[in-house]
Amino acid sequence: MLLIWRFNHLVLPRRRKRWDRESTKTSIHAAATKIWKQREAEEVALQLFQVGWPGERIIFDRLCQEYYDSHVKNLSDNSKAGFENSKRQLVKFFSGRMLTDISTDGIREYRDFRRQQPLKNRPDRTVKGATVNRELETLQGIFKLAVQRSYIQTDPTLNVEQFPEVRERPTKKRITTEEYLRILEKAPAYLRVGILLLEQTGNRTYSELFTLRWDQVDLDTGVISFNTPLKTADSDTAHPLSDLAVKALRWWRKQTLQGNPFIFPSPRLSNQPIRNVRKAWAKTLEDAEVGYFPIYQLRRAFCTRVSKVASDAVVTKAMRHSSAETKRRYQLGMVEEVREAMNLANTEAFGQLENHIFTTATSPIITNRKGDAAELVET
């Protein structure tokens, strides 16, 4: 009978004992005892001195590829793009290094080095701490995989402190009706419609609104069906449109090029959605004499308006936030409740100015601004 050797009295952290329940392939008790003692000594040496860890022979570049294959390739396109951006910077610094050569101090060195790098388009500014933090989080996921696969004994990212982000975040701004009208008056046509829809729907700027296709919008029922991977599972639900938003979309459809699938096509690549409106947004705020704030804050403005006239369950549904508490109160008729709340919020906030907002957003404008190729309104 073959003897099975097993040790329960020796507790080794993290790494599972390779020899646990393995046969010694001998029926001689003395030989079996000698074999498992030798294996125990090898395991202890491996734990204490990292003798023979695979990480001594695996470079950082290969681990990045393994992490992509096992964790990233099935994520959304935005998540993939975020990983590639972080990976590009990490590989520049750690490329060619063996995993066991990357220490906590080395990662801190990378953190401080990246924080002092100038921005590509703004050499007078350095990389934000939030950007470095996202790269460190990617690095944490990569080394967590290395520990799980027993390439290394400990994760070198565990004791690396991140930068505080609160001070870098823009101040929350309450947008008055007068400021909103001035912004609409100074914006180019495509951005006017985009601003109105962002403020009327609470959609996320790029992942939802500016990538919308006409086949995702049913103007007869006034509902958006995204049907694409979004930030959360609850985001991919039918989203109602207010009457004001439907009227603006009907008008915009008449102004845009027929046959283009995107509501906001790129001015350079007509078969792609517009990718960035930051410069146009900043110029619009400057012309409107309104202090700069990120366009994403229009989503907060939408939430603030609807919150004044609707219950928490309706607001959560309107914002498409994930919440176990409000999920239990979701109803089939919630679409109509959200639409009613949107229209009531418009009446409360704008009153008789609602028609003025519509005519301002949909009126043709003549502009001599260079680079306004995306403005499709006929003048």
Where does the pLDDT of residue 232 fall: very low under 50, low under 70, confident under 90, or very high at 90 and above? low
Going along the chain from its start, the domains and CATH numbers come out as 56-168 (1.10.150.130), 177-362 (1.10.443.10)
Where does the pLDDT of residue 91 fall: very low under 50, low under 70, confident under 90, or very high at 90 and above? very high
pLDDT value at residue 143? 94
pLDDT value at residue 138? 95
User: Looking at the predicted structure, is the pLDDT value of residue 11 above 60?
Assistant: no
Mean per-residue pLDDT, 134-158: 92
Task: Return the bridge partners of 217, or none.
Answer: 224
Per residue in 350-373, pLDDT (tens digit) is 988 888 899 889 887 655 555 554
User: Looking at the predicted structure, is the pLDDT value of residue 176 above 80?
Assistant: yes
**Which letter does DSSP use for residue 46 in this model?**
H
Average predicted confidence (pLDDT) for the chain: 80
Exposure string over 53-80, b if 16+ CB within 10 A, otherwise e: bebeebebeebbeebbeeebeeeeeeee
pLDDT value at residue 275? 85
Where does the pLDDT of residue 61 fall: very low under 50, low under 70, confident under 90, or very high at 90 and above? very high
More confident residue, 291 or 48: 291
- Determine the Cα–Cα distance for residues 119 and 116; give it in Å rounded to an integer: 9
Q: Are 46 and 14 in contact (CB under 8 A)?
A: no
Distances 270 to 197, 263, 351, 372, 378 between C-alpha atoms, Å = 21, 11, 38, 14, 17
Dihedral (CA of 272, 278, 282, 283) sign: negative
Q: For the whole model, what pTM was predicted?
A: 0.56
Per residue in 100-143, pLDDT (tens digit) is 999 999 999 999 999 999 988 778 889 989 899 999 999 999 99
- Closest by CA position to 196, among listed 336, 335, 356: 356
- Determine the Cα–Cα distance for residues 199 and 47; give it in Å rounded to an integer: 58
Mean per-residue pLDDT, 305-320: 80
